[in-house]
Every structure is written in structure tokens, then in C-alpha cells.
Amino acid sequence: MQTGQPPAVVFKQLRPDAIVPQYMSDEAAGMDLSAAIDAAVVLAPGERAAIGTGLAMALPLGFEGQVRPRSGLAARHGLTVVNAPGTIDSDYRGHVMVLLVNLGREPVTIEPGQRIAQLVIAPVVRAEVVVAEELPSTSRGAGGFGSTGR
């Protein structure tokens, strides 16, 4: 259950066919981003492309936009976001692009207006950076991948 006022995200349509994102269910975490392209784009296996949404946006200070894959496209076609999650900073005002990659075995066609990714709005915490000669010790220490036994 959300408490308080949700952050206001302002969208600007850069082209008349740009679809303003919306939540597709009452409890969806992400809004769907759609392709605003002049013609279909075919991605061969292993190929990647920047697909425009036709939108620019203004996020409030202290928030980011996370561009994430759509699970249905990933499951059915192996289509995902290359830099998942992609980050849109609150001071960015340019064209929102989605970097897609086809990890499947067959070509995938992206059609104009197709929902291609999700946009999750999330709070950002900026850390204080401290440099030290030594770090506090832990029971794990420098153990890396798989070091916790799972």
C-alpha cells in the first residue's frame, strides 16, 4: 500500500504517435514503454538496437526511471534490455530510448506502437564516498561468487 503523495513524472511527446506510459493494472510496479518508430524493426539473433519511445520526461529530484524488460517478450522471444535495468537520471531531458537485444534463436520484429519495456520510478539514495586504508571485517570477508554456499 502506497503512503503519501506519489512523485509526479512529466512526459513530453516528441512525436504525435508517442504513447504516454501507463500502469496496466492497479498494482503494477512498472508502466509500459512503447516503440515510436516509423516502420517495423527486425532484430536478428544477437542483434541489438536503440528503439525510440518518442518521449522525453522530467523526473523529480531524488528519483530515477529504471527501464526493465517485459517478461512476456523475454519468455516468448528472448528479447531483453541490454543494460537492464537502464537508468534515467532526474536531470536527463532527452529522448527516452530502449536498448533492446535479441537473445533468442529467431529474428524478432518490433512494430510501431508495440510495448517494448517497463519503466519503474524509484527513489535514489546518494552515498557519501569515504576512502580508507582498511575496511571493517565481516564473517564473509572477500569471499566472492558462491562463497556463501548457495
Q: How far apart, in whole angstroms, are the C-alpha atoms of residue 33 and residue 66?
A: 11
Please give the pLDDT value at position 5: 87
- One digit per residue, pLDDT tens: the chain, 150 residues? 556 788 999 999 999 999 999 999 999 999 999 999 999 999 999 999 999 999 999 999 999 999 999 999 999 999 999 999 999 999 999 999 999 999 999 999 999 999 999 999 999 999 999 999 999 999 888 877 776 766
- The set of cell numbers assigned to 77 is 522471444
> Nearest 5 degrees, angle CA 58-CA 21-CA 32?
120
Q: How far apart, in whole angstroms, are the C-alpha atoms of residue 53 and residue 39?
A: 13
Please give the pLDDT value at position 150: 62
What is the torsion angle, in degrees rounded to the nearest 10, for the CA atoms of residue 71, residue 73, residue 77 and residue 83? -80
Fold of 10-123: Deoxyuridine 5'-Triphosphate Nucleotidohydrolase; Chain A (2.70.40)
User: DSSP 3-state assignment of 80?
Assistant: strand
pTM above 0.85, yes or no: yes
